[in-house]
Chains A and B, each alone.
Chain A
Amino acid sequence: MKKLGLIVNPIAGMGGKCGLKGTDGIEILERARKLGAEPEAPDRATAALRRIVPLKDDVEIVTVSGDMGESEARALSFEPTVIYTTDHSTTTSEDTRRAAKAMAAAGVDLILFAGGDGTARDIFSAVGDGPICLGIPAGCKIHSGVYGINPRTAGELAAMYLQDKIFDTAHAEVMDIDEDAFRAGRVSAELFGYLTVPRDPVRVQGGKAGRAQKDEHALDAIAFYLMDNMEPETVYILGTGSTLFGIKQRLGVEGTLLGVDVTRGRELIGKDVTERQILDLLGPEGGDKAKIVVTVIGGQGYIFGRGNQQLSPRVIERVGRENIIVVAAKAKIAALGGKPLLVDTGSEEINEELSGYMRVVTGYSEQIAVRVAS
């Protein structure tokens, strides 16, 4: 029998309708309540869970007490196992983290959670990219790529995964914005990491690119192109993220998923390096030739300033714009829907220098020219 972990963040989304941009923190929740916000996440979770009802006899639901999952499951006549009990009436992010940990320890096949970017962050910080997860979109902020496009499709996808109709998985970005900054009118999304989600380009957000080439095939083509054009004496600063991680693996470099790694030719000379270490490895101006390889954050378009702050204005200046190689699967560029690539390096001057058109390597001898906006 398959085990489905269910976590509902019952307060997710409450800040949205009353213009509070999010519901992170007790204070904001109180403000939302005063402004008349009603919980919506339980209904959204139920809409998703309804798609699992036909599998009732084949799936055991493992969940959290009260409206963090148990009530929603019982409402649809499931008989869930409560693996974690909250001891207060207003649940917190700590409850989400503890519940996710307990589920990972219990070896559930899939953690289905209802919430927003804050909830995805909590799950990620508790369990990393090990267990297979999937989000039911219920929060105000949905920048992460871990959600179904709506509650129903999230439920369908979960059902298909539990029936082994989909067995492919992929890393999907966990993004969140700084709510205080957002309320003050600045959008500043950060990449926090990756959750492993069932791979289905039609049902998962940010992957609306049709029956596109599989990521692995795109990565193969990009990696072979880079390999065939790599110069043995040049220093390569390989950025963060799942695309670059895939390329690092194909180059035979033992690099990191969330860190910046440095090679000379294909030989690793710095793993998970800081800005300082990169500058030390590069040496003085006029020293070794260097290239930066970065990718595009799916759905958003950032190439610098999100999840790769090690690639600072000083590093970019030392390497030079002409030595920046942006790589991405074609589908990722298509999914931007004509929006430009974005940079937020912390230096107006460097942002300006990076703006204009850049060629993104999308395959073997294939590039797409995309505008970069600062």
Chain B
Amino acid sequence: MGIVKVRKNYHQARWDEPMIMEMSTPGVRGIIPPEPEAEIVDAVGDVAGALPEGTRRKSPPALPEVDQKRVLSHFLHLSQETLGSNLCADLSQGTCTMKYNPRINEDLANDPHFAYMHPWQDDETMQGILHMYWTFEQILKEVSGMDRFTLQPGGGAHAVFTAASIIRAYHRDRGELEQRDEVVTTMFSHPCDAASPHTAGFKIVTLMPKEDGYPDLDALKAVVGPHTAAVHITNPEDTGIYNPIIDQFVEVVHDAGGVCYNDQANGNVLLGIARTRDAGFDLCHFNVHKTFGTPHGGSGPGTGAMGCRDEFAKYLPYPTVEKDEKTGKYYLDYDRPESIGKIKGFLGSAGVVLRAYAWAVMMGPDGLRETAEMSALNNNYFLKMLEKVPDVYYPYAEGHRRLEEARCSWIKLTEKTGVGTDDILRRVGDFGLQHYWSSHHPWVVPEPMTLEPCETFSIEDLEEYAQVLEIIAKEAYDDPEMVKNAPHKCAVHKRAAEEELDDPDKWATTWKAYQRKHGKK
């Protein structure tokens, strides 16, 4: 093993940084462009006058007025107040599949030949990018067994929404949409498997796991029937448990006339091992920003590559990328009368698709399989390391092997010390590591911690994280206040009122809303 350095004396930069709107000084400019020359003004004419009346602003936009130097330092400060995947091992973000994103793919995406393409270029002039889309689709088809893919959705929930829209169209065409208004999911599937179909107009029925922690086939049989439109399910589930009777789940739903959707956003452990088509699924998706090595990028852009069997392909959003077998030329097909329509501008997140394509090609078929094997091995090795951490265990199917991730519980520690998972995860930041992901809400596993040491983390990364958890668990006994008031060395301190995050009267996503809701104006 190499050097494992637990950073006990770490301290993050803390800048007490104002919001950029608060830095605004009237009249200050970053760049003052020179006035255009007279002959240019003459040639161009009245630019503002060319805009339709309705689109012209009545007053200038309320932009912050800050000089270049201060803008630069402002954003540099903010970047120093984050802990991202390039700064530390973030193997703790379970369900997120935070693997290493190869830097060379950033160079590819930033290559002017690619980056400066215009979205309205003619198909003839972008054969390279279309070839890349088409080839990546073939890779995804091979990995999943599906017949077609769309690379349009901007993320996982968007892909699930696209699928739910396709399922609506499918039942509508069979004259059964009115009757089939329910989508079934499981408590340990990703919440978007409930939320996206709900947004698409379906009622949601969620199944609790059996007392042994495995998905409950009897519960499925009890709820599936003539009202069932589809099942939307994650496998392996968030607990890291693989549903060993997934084919029976599919059979029950198919027998009742429903459609089967496999959310494999995190398909890390399936690559080259198990194909969703072989389990009988009709549709599926991969998040390329999880499974195919592209950055998460701070809420985007991402891509949810959504695939389906032939029967559903006519409903895919347009445009699709097609290849003319005679000429060998690629083209965008907008002429799809039964399509659910357009779901994203132009080609979707082309830069992300390029990175994913590059990752998949670099890995090759053997590399994809190795990804699956290593991610399961890393996780199980890590769980073995965690045995030295007091009180950590993983309920639901306790003692059974997890695949690429595990949802552990600190409840035993909490009951003895009063220190909960939210305290521990904040304390992790004091060691220069990314805090861990607890769980979706509400918690089914009490005081949860979800860890996912992907295939790219080294044994030293795992050891560092395990040692930090061990230190904190011991602190919970010896000095609980230290943990409960953490973090002490991070840019952001403990939030005083956690509940305000869920209070629509308090949260603000824009400067205007912040001023209004917090009485600043």
Interface residues of B in 187-233 (CB under 8 A from A): 187, 194, 198, 202-211, 213, 216, 218-219, 222-223
Let me know if B442 and A213 touch, CB within 8 A.
yes
Would you call B439 and A338 a contact (CB within 8 A)?
no
Neighbouring A residues of B496 by C-beta, 8 Å: 165
Question: Chain A residues with Cβ under 8 A from B396's Cβ?
Answer: 338
A252 at the interface (CB under 8 A from B): no
Whole-angstrom CA separation of A203 from B307 in the bound complex: 45
Residues of A with C-beta under 8 A to B411: 208
Q: Are B208 and A369 in contact (CB under 8 A)?
A: yes
B95 CB → nearest A CB, Å: 15
A301 to B415, CA, bound (A): 21
Contacting pair B198 A337 (CB below 8 A) = no
A365 contact set on B, CB distance < 8 A:
198, 202-204
CB of B459 closer than 8 Å to a CB of A? no
Give the contact-size bracket for chain B. Answer: 35 or more
Closest to A150 in B: B418
For B442, what are the chain A residues with a Cβ–Cβ distance below 8 Å?
A: 209-210, 212-213, 330-331, 334-335
Contacting residues, chain B, for A333 (C-beta < 8 A): 208
A367 on interface, CB distance cutoff 8 Å? yes
Interface flags, A185-221, vs B, CB<8A=1, else 0? 0000000000000000010000011111110000000
B414 contacts A by Cβ under 8 Å:
yes
Distance, CA A330 to CA B191, complexed state (A): 13
Cα distance A31–B415 in the bound complex, in angstroms: 29
Q: Chain A contacts of B204 at CB under 8 A?
A: 365-367
Does A289 sit at the interface, judged by CB under 8 A?
no
Which residues on the A side are within 8 Å of B210 (C-beta)? Answer: 338
- Pairwise interchain contact B219-A371, C-beta atoms closer than 8 A: yes
Asked if A211 and B198 make an inter-chain contact with CB atoms under 8 angstroms apart, the answer reads no
| Residue in B205, B414, B422, B443 whose CB lies within 8 Å of A359 | B205
Q: Mark B390-401, 1 if CB is under 8 A from A, else 0.
A: 000001100000
Which residue from A152, A331, A338 sits with its C-beta under 8 Å from B418? Answer: A152
A208 in contact with B443 given A153-B418, A371-B219 (CB within 8 Å): yes
Known contacts A337-B446, A359-B205; A369/B441 CB under 8 A: no
Find chain B residues with CB under 8 A from A213 CB: 441-442, 502
* CA A214 to CA B496, docked complex, whole Å: 18
The range of chain A's interface size is: 35 or more
Instruction: Verify if B302 is at the interface (C-beta below 8 Å from A).
Output: no
Contact with B along A347-374 (1 / 0, CB 8 A): 0000000001101001001111111000
- Interface contact B222-A366, CB-CB below 8 Å: no
A217 to B518, CA, bound (A): 22
Contact call B502/A369, Cβ cutoff below 8 A: no
Is B205's CB under 8 angstroms from A210's CB?
Answer: no
- Tell me if A3 counts as interface (CB < 8 A to partner B): no
In the complex, B448 has a CB within 8 A of chain A:
yes
A138 → chain B closest CB, angstroms: 15
Q: How far is the CA of A215 from the CA of B224 in the complex (A)?
A: 29
Contact B198 A334 (CB under 8 A): no
Whether A368 and B415, one on each chain, are in contact in the complex, defined by CB atoms closer than 8 angstroms, is no
Q: Is A321 an interface residue (CB 8 A)?
A: no
Give Cα distance in the complex from A362 to B208, angstroms.
13
Decide if B499 is an interface residue (CB 8 Å cutoff).
Answer: yes
Within residues 226 to 250 of chain B, which ones have a CB less than 8 A from any CB in chain A? none
Closest chain B CB from A156 CB (angstroms):
7
How far in angstroms is the closest Cβ of chain B from A350? 19
Which B428-484 residues sit within 8 Å CB-CB of chain A? 438-439, 441-444, 446-448, 480
Say whether, besides A366-B203, A367-B205, A338 and B211 are in contact (CB < 8 Å). yes
Decide yes or no whether A250 CB sits under 8 A from chain B.
Answer: no
**Chain A residues with CB below 8 A from B498, complex form:** 211
Known: A209-B441, A210-B443, A338-B209. A366 touches B448 (CB 8 A): no
Q: Which A residue sits closest to B220, measured CB to CB?
A: A369
Closest to A151 in B: B418
Q: How distant is A267 from chain B, measured CB to nearest CB, in Å?
A: 27
In the bound complex, do residue A209 and residue B222 qualify as a contact, i.e. CB atoms below 8 Å apart? no
Does A149 interact with chain B (Cβ within 8 Å)?
A: yes
Q: How far is the CA of A357 from the CA of B211 in the complex (A)?
A: 14
List CB contacts (< 8 Å) of B157-214 with chain A.
187, 194, 198, 202-211, 213
User: B319 contacts the other chain (Cβ, under 8 Å)?
Assistant: no
From A208, which residue of chain B is reached at the shortest CB distance? Answer: B446
Chain B residues, CB < 8 A from A202: 420, 422
- Residues B418 and A149 in contact, CB atoms below 8 Å apart: yes
The answer, yes or no, to whether B361 is at the interface (CB within 8 Å) is no
What are the residues of chain B within 8 A of A210 when measuring CB–CB? 438-439, 441-443, 448
B104 within 8 A of A: no
Which of chain B's residues have a CB closer than 8 A to the CB of A367? 203-206
User: With A150-B415, A153-B418 known to touch, is A212 a contact of B441 (CB < 8 Å)?
Assistant: yes
A368, closest chain B residue (CB): B206
* B415 with A211: CB separation less than 8 A: no
Chain A residues with CB under 8 Å of B88's CB are none
What are 11 A-B pairs with beta-carbon distances under 8 A? A149-B415, A202-B422, A208-B411, A211-B499, A211-B502, A212-B441, A213-B441, A213-B442, A337-B446, A365-B204, A371-B216
10 nearest A-B pairs in the assembled complex, by CB-CB distance: A210-B443, A357-B222, A209-B442, A212-B442, A334-B442, A331-B442, A365-B203, A210-B441, A152-B418, A368-B206
Given contacts A210-B441, A334-B444, A371-B218, 18 further A-B contacts (CB under 8 A): A149-B415, A150-B416, A150-B418, A152-B480, A153-B418, A165-B496, A208-B411, A208-B443, A209-B441, A211-B499, A212-B442, A357-B223, A368-B206, A368-B208, A369-B205, A369-B219, A369-B223, A371-B216
B residues at A contact (CB < 8 Å): 187, 194, 198, 202-211, 213, 216, 218-219, 222-223, 395-396, 411, 414-416, 418, 420, 422, 438-439, 441-444, 446-448, 480, 496-499, 501-503
